[in-house]
Structure 1
Amino acid sequence: MANPNSNNVLTGKPLATGGVLVAPLASTAPTDAKTALNAAFKGVGYIGEDGLTETADRSTDKVKAWGGDVVKVVQTDYAVTYTFTVIETLNVEALKLVYGASNVTTTAATSTTGTLQSVKLNSDTLPRQSFVFEVKDGDARIRIYVPNGQVTEIGEVTYSDEDVIATEVTVEAYRDSTLGANAIKYIDDNIFSA
């Protein structure tokens, strides 16, 4: 049995290049924690201070024998979701994530206007996409890859002079048959052997 080691305890900061990246389905997948991502992955900008929350929900039913003894536990559901808050309201990639790329139109800045965004709010189902979540602590790296994810929940948006405009996003990670999982974590402690 390994002895406790405080060097194995990590915090979860985003990489300076961004912590949440999105790409079309079937974009070239990452295979480790550090190799440069395919250019199809686009960052959605700053994420709120609460960071990224991963939830693995495993629902079960208890089967009982006559007399009340539990004799079996049957798994009925398994789901993995990721929740984070987008805070860059002017970032086109963040807008596409929250509202769907087909609902966002961008017009480049001119000599008389800034960059214009037109965003439709409608009932269209948001598309499935691939996601990468980049986490670091010192030299250690964690890359979480979701090959088939979908934004399934969007939180309330409050417009106030007391706080930034922020949108909480929940991503459902669907099971990928090739990967055999809903998501995969690549972890590299970045400590090399002698």
Structure 2
Amino acid sequence: MSEKPNASLVTQGKPKVTGAIFSAPLGTALPTDAKSALDAAFVQLGYVSDSGLTNSIGLENANVKAWGGDTVLNTMTSKTNELKFKLIEALNPDVLKVVYGDENVTGTLETGITVKNKSLQLEGHAYVIDILMKNGAMKRIVAPEGTVTAIGDVTYKDDEVVGYDLTIGLVPADDGVTAYEYIIREAKA
């Protein structure tokens, strides 16, 4: 444990040049560290807007009070874990499949893309987010199951990029974990 504050442990997060957010069908083999290659089923979801990634962790609690009004117990009643980001490759079929559902997007940009915007529950996916940090550190967030729970307004305007502002609600895996976070500093040669 550090005896005093350490500025070298303060960091920021940036995407890898090869992409930062990946999606795969549920059941795909998940990485168990920050560096190993992803299973071939993972697809890169392209550029993300400059607002980056937000990981929202929400807690709800209930207070138990004793006679006289003192709070004597605080219990957690629920916990949520969400990833929020805006995908800006609006012509990418893999992005459209995350937004509208795998079965509702067919074709390629060259052959023609068809999107069916249906009122059905979207299927879950596994997600991996790779983040570059200060001083050669890398962080990988691995979410075994996430489902799109909110889509922001899609705007078509001269001076604005078309994109999909998504909220991904994470569901606990069999072991109760909604996401794993792996962090490592690359050894300097």
1:137 Cα deviation after fit: 2.1
Counterparts of 1:1-194 in structure 2 under 5 Å? 1-2=1-2, 3-107=4-108, 109=110, 115-138=111-134, 139-178=136-175, 180-191=176-187
1:183–1:32 CA distance, 2 compared to 1 (3 A) = same
Contact 2:100–2:122, Cα closer than 8 Å, also in 1: yes
- In structure 2, stretches of 5+ residues that fail to align are none
Hey, what's the Cα distance between the residues in 1 that align with 2:158 and 2:53?
25
Hey, what's the Cα distance between the residues in 2 that align with 1:107 and 1:5?
50
Contact 2:127–2:143, Cα closer than 8 Å, also in 1: yes
Contact 2:146–2:170, Cα closer than 8 Å, also in 1: yes
Opposite residue 89 of structure 1, the aligned amino acid is A
Q: Match of 1:112?
A: none
Normalising to structure 2: TM-score of the pair? 0.94
The runs of 4+ residues in structure 1 deviating greater than 4 Å are none
Hey, what's the Cα distance between the residues in 1 that align with 2:58 and 2:24?
25
1:19–1:107 CA distance, 2 compared to 1 (3 A) = closer
Contact 2:151–2:164, Cα closer than 8 Å, also in 1: yes
Hey, what's the Cα distance between the residues in 2 that align with 1:4 and 1:34?
28
Contact 2:19–2:44, Cα closer than 8 Å, also in 1: yes
Hey, what's the Cα distance between the residues in 2 that align with 1:191 and 1:185?
19
1:36 Cα deviation after fit: 0.8
- In structure 1, stretches of 5+ residues that fail to align are 110-114
Paired residue secondary structure (1:116): coil
Aligned residues: 187
Q: Percent identity?
A: 40
Hey, what's the Cα distance between the residues in 1 that align with 2:88 and 2:150?
16
Opposite residue 127 of structure 2, the aligned amino acid is F
Hey, what's the Cα distance between the residues in 1 that align with 2:118 and 2:179?
29
The Cα RMSD (Å) is 1.5
